Amino acid sequence: MGICDDRVVIVTGGGRGLGRAHALAFAAEGAKVVVNDLGVGLDGSAGTGSAGSGSAGSGSAGTGSPAGQVVEEIRALGGQAVAHGGDVATEEGAASLVATALDSFGRLDTLVNNAGFLRDRMLVNLGEDDWDAVMRVHVKGHFLPLRHAAAYWRAEAKAGREPAARVVNTTSGAGLSGSVGQGNYAAAKAGIVGLTLVAAAEMGRYGIQVNAIAPAARTRMTEQAFAGLEGVPEDVSPLVVWLGSAASAGVTGRVFEAEGGRITVMEGWRPGPTAEKGARWSPAEAGETTLRLLADAEAPQPVYGAS
């Protein structure tokens, strides 16, 4: 018996790296898994691993695709899984993703938003296309599956079948502290934190819990940017599986950092030292007061890669 017995779980970007580890870990705990992966390259370019057929929004994925290969691994171990090859940053792809879970297994319990890619540049060299592409796959690729899954769960709750629904989003240390050369990625990952907090506040009434993880592990996305990472994707997955299970009841609106054998509850923006005059400050007064407040404030986390 696993902690996810009979739960139906979607993992986006589940064909490689962290997503693959999550999909296998959920299956090992008894979940039925929908493995989504578009099969693109590290920078989102096509033609680097997808052997599936059909359009990006159609949801089809061949057995030789990254998603199909993970499904075969799960089935070989006695689990149940189906592949989905659609683009979750499109309305069609996100809708077909949730429909695949419902059509294949009759329900949906957990959504793990993990899909993403990198296009790293220093800000002065960062083109608009690279900005838009990274924001699209990370932020929109979280929003659309979340919205479609939440619509299903809200309908279930209104029909008197309140779910024990779970969403696990994927942010990053880059989104929490910044990362030199990754302005687009850091902004997207920070946006996912904001989306997580709002979704948790809005959706709790329907039995939906929403949390985020900031994983640190050696994957094809991190091996160049963060060469010193020691952890592997399989180290992160146990926390994701627990957050995606009914056992995590009452935990929502939180961000966790996971690396190797370490789990950290991340504590975000909250009021620090404050001064109140009761009237408008002059610029000089505002400056003097701000310097005094900063002297009493905690230093910010250093930006990754800053000298």
Of the candidates 96, 189, 237, 248, the residue annotated as catalytic is 189
Amino acid sitting at position 268: G
Instruction: Please confirm, yes or no, whether 307 is among the known catalytic residues.
Output: no
- pLDDT at residue number 249: 98
Q: How many residues does the chain have?
A: 307
Of the candidates 60, 96, 179, 185, the residue annotated as catalytic is 185
The label of the residue with tokens 């996912």 reads 192
Distance between CA atoms of residues 229 and 68, nearest Å: 28
The pair of structure tokens assigned to 115 is 């899909």
Of the candidates 60, 172, 245, 248, the residue annotated as catalytic is 172
- pLDDT at residue number 231: 77
pLDDT tens-digit series, residues 173-191: 999 999 999 999 999 999 9
Residue 148's nearest CA partner among 94, 204, 189 is 94
- pLDDT at residue number 1: 79
What separation, in Å, do the N-terminal and C-terminal C-alpha atoms of the chain show?
Answer: 49
Structural domains of the chain sorted by starting position, each given as residue range(s) with its CATH number in brackets = 8-266 (3.40.50.720)
Within the chain, which residues score under 50 in pLDDT? 48-55, 219-220, 222-223, 226
Number of CB atoms found within 10 A of residue 270's CB: 5
Encode burial over 193-219: b for 16+ CB neighbours within 10 A, e otherwise.
bebbbebbeebeebbbbbbbbbbbbbb
Instruction: Please confirm, yes or no, whether 185 is among the known catalytic residues.
Output: yes
- With beta carbons less than 8 A apart as the criterion, state whether 215 and 258 touch: yes
- pLDDT at residue number 51: 35
Instruction: Please confirm, yes or no, whether 172 is among the known catalytic residues.
Output: yes
- Three-point CA angle 159, 163, 169, nearest 5°: 130
Amino acid sitting at position 154: R
Q: What is the pTM of this model?
A: 0.90
pLDDT tens-digit series, residues 121-147: 999 999 999 999 999 999 999 999 999
